[in-house]
Amino acid sequence: MEPVIEMSDLRVSFAARSGAVEALRGLNLKVSRGSVVGFLGPNGAGKTTAIHVLLGFISPTSGTARIFGRDSGSSMAREQIGYLPEHPTTYGFLTGRELLTMAGRLFRMDRSRLGAATERVLAMVDMTVPANRRIATYSRGMMQRIGLAQALINDPALVILDEPTGGLDPIGRADVRKIIADLRAAGKTVFFSSHELSEVELACDHVAIMARGAL
């Protein structure tokens, strides 16, 4: 079966005053369909750079990154992804519900499908009541929850989460673990980075450990 994520000899270099900095140095990694994979490593190991290549935010210096068999820079590949950044930020003047409506429209979801999906993901992240408040009034944990709802609005086949339990209390962390388990049960693929080794141990089928830009 074709892997959902495939990175082959992936290299990314950034220009710096002291010379080129190699953020990724020949990264090779495959993620199978329906698995939950933890992406680990110290600060500066290259985890976020690798995720940004997968999302098409930056282009590799060399090598390839593919999602569902397509180049990660392809818009068709990204249509099947849900993404939660490490520090989710958005328009504070919107309500949580309005944010989800905007995200769903970007995925060209029709009105009836979007309405049902909005209620479903709000219930999943326990944000049904606060969804009518402006995002500017949210706590860090609530921002994390509404960001996760936004990542799931399009019912993605691949969910990429960057530090998904950041800012959450123990109950919130347990909720995220349950959501990840439910996604696995539904046949989704989850790829998430974390510094919380206990969370990774409880949630993951496999781990990939980065150090100095390589696996």
pLDDT at 77 exceeding the cut of 80: no
CA–CA dist 163, 91 (Å, integer): 21
Strand-strand pairing, 206-209 and 189-193: unpaired
For residue 44, what pLDDT is reported? Answer: 86
Tens-digit pLDDT profile for residues 125-183: 999 999 999 999 999 889 999 999 999 999 999 999 998 887 788 888 889 899 999 99
CA–CA dist 49, 96 (Å, integer): 28
For residue 167, what pLDDT is reported? Answer: 77
The answer to pTM > 0.75 is yes
Tens-digit pLDDT profile for residues 179-208: 999 999 999 999 999 887 888 888 899 999
| In the chain, % of residues over pLDDT 70 | 100
Closest CA to 147 of 208, 196, 192: 192
pLDDT at 1 exceeding the cut of 80: no
Query: What is the arithmetic mean of pLDDT over 41-63?
Result: 92
- DSSP string covering 172-189: HHHHHHHHHHHHHHTT-E
Alpha-carbon distances of 151 from 43, 112, 114, rounded to whole Å: 24, 19, 13
Beta partners for 14? Answer: 21
